[in-house]
Amino acid sequence: MSAAFLRAFRLEGEGIVHGFGTRHLEEAAPELLEELKEGCARQVHGDRVLWVKDGVRPGAEEADALATDEARLVAVRTADCVPVLLADPRTGRVAAVHAGWRGTIARVVERAVESLVRAGSRQEDLLAAIGPAIRACCYEVSPKLAARFEAAFGPGVRQGQNLDLAIANRISLVRAGVSAARIEVLDLCTFCDPRFHSFRREGERAGRQYSFVRGGSVS
């Protein structure tokens, strides 16, 4: 059977339970799918960070980043946008972030790091994993948007008129104080790789993949 999830080496090494779902998740782990759906907020391409705990129903809230320090999962769904998972193995605090181009420009990953730090985490302890997303090979945008990204994140985020949102989010994480050596980028393009749903490739009928991380694991 094809893998339901891909994992990030560094998070795996610290015992952080997490996964970047593929399109095979639905048949491979239907019971987990329900938990993942409940673990997602209503994503609106903003920069709000929602803390999830008892009494908070993510599905009733608008947020593009979810954080928790409890033994529960937080999740995001994507189909070309960038899923980013953050974990503090010292405290068990985690966050899941959905960053399309709007969220990337709004620096939603920086807001998530700030929120973890406000809760007591140290930037140097954080691990980050940037999951499958549409990459520079396939993500052509308007000249105006490409220029806007170059102004915000430097020339490395564009190749001509194509953007790499994963790289932009890596830059954002480093700006927020996460060590570059502790950021893993899964080099996978959702448009190129048929294991993933892709909005650009499949249009309105595209499904979504779920990415999640579970809090509460302390190394």
Pick the piece of the chain touching Zn ion (CB under 5 A) from 32-40, 56-64, 80-88, 188-196.
Answer: 188-196
The span from the CA of 68 to the CA of 116, in Å, is 9
196 forms part of the interface with Zn ion (CB under 5 A):
no
Pick the piece of the chain touching Zn ion (CB under 5 A) from 11-19, 140-148, 164-172, 187-195.
Answer: 187-195
Q: How far is the CB of 137 from Zn ion (least distance, A)?
A: 3
Contact indicator for 34, 210 with CB cutoff of 8 Å: no
Q: Three-class SS of residue 82?
A: strand
118's enclosing H/E stretch is helix 108-118
Give the tokens for residue 132: 């499958």
**Closest listed residue to residue 123, CA positions, set 152, 79, 91, 149:** 91
Among 15, 124, 137, 194, binds Zn ion (CB under 5 A): 137
Query: 34 vs 193, which CB is nearer to Zn ion?
Result: 193
Q: How many residues bind Zn ion (CB under 5 A)?
A: 5
Query: 77 vs 135, which CB is nearer to Zn ion?
Result: 135
Among 17, 28, 29, 138, binds Zn ion (CB under 5 A): 138
Among 20, 149, 153, 191, binds Zn ion (CB under 5 A): 191
| Amino acid of residue 160 | G
194 forms part of the interface with Zn ion (CB under 5 A):
no
Give the tokens for residue 217: 């694991």
Q: Three-class SS of residue 140?
A: strand
199 forms part of the interface with Zn ion (CB under 5 A):
no
94, β-bridge pairs:
68, 87
Among 50, 185, 189, 213, binds Zn ion (CB under 5 A): 189
188 forms part of the interface with Zn ion (CB under 5 A):
no
Query: 33 vs 138, which CB is nearer to Zn ion?
Result: 138
Query: 32 vs 130, which CB is nearer to Zn ion?
Result: 130
The radius of gyration of the chain's CA atoms, rounded to the nearest angstrom, is: 16
192 forms part of the interface with Zn ion (CB under 5 A):
yes
Torsion of CA 5, 119, 98, 85, to 10 degrees: -30
What are the two backbone dihedrals, phi and then psi, of residue 204, each rounded to the nearest 5 degrees?
Answer: -60, -25
29 forms part of the interface with Zn ion (CB under 5 A):
no
Point out which residues bind Zn ion (CB under 5 A). 137-138, 189, 191-192
